[in-house]
Amino acid sequence: MTRNQRILLVVLAVQILLIVVVRMPMGERGVSAGPTPLIAGWDELVPTRVMFGGDDDAVQLLRAGDGWQVEALDGFPADGAKLESLLTKIGALEVRRPLVRSARYHESFGVREQDAEARLRIWGDGNDDPAVDLLFGNPPNFGSIHLRQADEDAVYEVRDLAAYDVSGPAGNWIDKDWLKIDSSDIDGLTVRNVSGSFTVVRGDEGWAVEEPAEFAGQPLGDDQLAGLLSDISGLRISDVAGRRDETLHGFATVGVQVDVRRRDSTDHRFTLLEIGLAVGDGNDRRFVGRDGEGFAGIALESSLQSILDLDLRAMMGASPPS
């Protein structure tokens, strides 16, 4: 066989191989036919308990009625919207073929149980074992992460999810809008601070002073209450101080309080906010609470300044009392 003949045979063999590959079914070429749900039966699952982290550093959220609570913080309300958004994302995860199927590769992908970047477990109602148990590993690139189900060896890559989405301290999951109220729902306000006490009410023609008698009936422009209403409607806590303690948190001694009356409500005024002592950590934060709630939160003092400093006499252009 001449050299040219050998070259022709090699070219022919390559052509035949290419034809076979092109005509081969997609599944036989190792390419997944399409994405499949990562978690089978998700639509039937009603989550009642969610755990982030391992057994030694677990943060648990427990369903309570229509909401969620943070177990480590004595049942403080959790950010239900944030959690439900995460659960929706988890339930919608789809995967193609696994990157690997053997446990010997788990360490390189960061999905071993003992050193995974994050872990997420979800229980359904009445289940002793988690219905979902996911181990999150290292990110192959921005916006992606490796993961596997704890009872399987297969490792997948998923997008639009990161380890920090399913981890963090208990404080990451608190309802920071715990004391928030929409200012448009407020028809009456009573503020007590170092400058005294006053009450304003909203009528058909706008805001007016109800108490003290010295200013009763005098109108107030929206701009005069803008700072106060903005702080009330935008109030967010940064942390939870724990169970309410009148002495430790200073609610009884400081005496700064905001009572509100809701629009179109026959209920009596309720105490929306109490401001206590400074936290004393050098970060300009104050203890805050609400009458009837068993917890104390922590808020930045700057977000409370309009309440602390508000002076009706100054607002009305009157001289300080002699």
Residue located via tokens 């963090």: 168
pLDDT at 267: 59
One-letter amino acid identity for 170?
A
pLDDT at 23: 47
User: What total of structural domains would you count in the chain?
Assistant: 2
Give the domain-ending residue among 105, 138, 173: 173
How would you label 107-129 residue by residue, b for 16+ Cβ within 10 Å and e otherwise?
A: eebbbeeeebbbbbbbbbeeeee
Domain boundary among 130, 155, 173: 173
Q: Are residues 211 and 157 part of one domain?
A: no
One-character DSSP codes across 89-113: HHHT-EE-S-SB--GGGHHHHT--T
CA 90: distance to chain centroid? 15
DSSP annotation of 179 reads T
| The pLDDT value given to residue 7 | 60
Quote the pLDDT of residue 28. Answer: 39
Structural domain of 45: 36-173
- Does residue 1 sit within a domain? no
Which tokens belong to 156? 């997948």
Contact 271, 257 (CB under 8 A): yes
Same domain? For 45 and 99 the reply is: yes
The number of angstroms, rounded, from the C-alpha of 114 to the middle of its chain's C-alpha atoms is 26
* Boundary (domain end) residue, out of 173, 208, 243: 173
Do 156 and 94 form a contact (C-beta atoms < 8 A)?
Answer: no
Residues 169 and 187 occupy one common structural domain: no
Hey, which bits of the chain come out as E strands?
Answer: 36-37, 47-52, 59-64, 67-70, 76-77, 94-95, 118-124, 132-136, 144-149, 156-159, 186-193, 196-203, 206-211, 219-220, 239-243, 256-262, 270-278, 285-289, 295-300
Question: Does some domain include residue 320?
Answer: no
CATH label of the domain that carries residue 278 = 2.60.40
Are 215 and 128 in a shared domain? Answer: no
**Is residue 5 one of the residues assigned to a domain?**
no
Q: According to the model, what pLDDT value does residue 6 have?
A: 61
> Both 153 and 187 in a single domain?
no
Give me the tens of pLDDT residue by residue for the chain, a chain 322 residues long: 676 656 666 556 656 555 544 444 433 344 545 789 999 999 999 999 999 998 788 999 999 999 999 999 999 999 999 999 999 999 999 999 999 999 999 999 999 999 999 999 999 988 789 999 999 999 998 889 999 999 999 999 999 899 999 987 999 999 999 998 888 888 899 999 999 999 999 888 889 999 999 999 999 988 888 888 888 888 999 999 999 999 999 998 888 999 988 876 655 668 889 999 999 888 899 999 998 889 999 999 999 998 999 899 888 876 555 5
**322 assigned to some structural domain:** no
**Within a domain: residue 292?**
yes
Residue 306, classed as helix, strand or coil, is helix
Decide if 178 is inside a domain. no
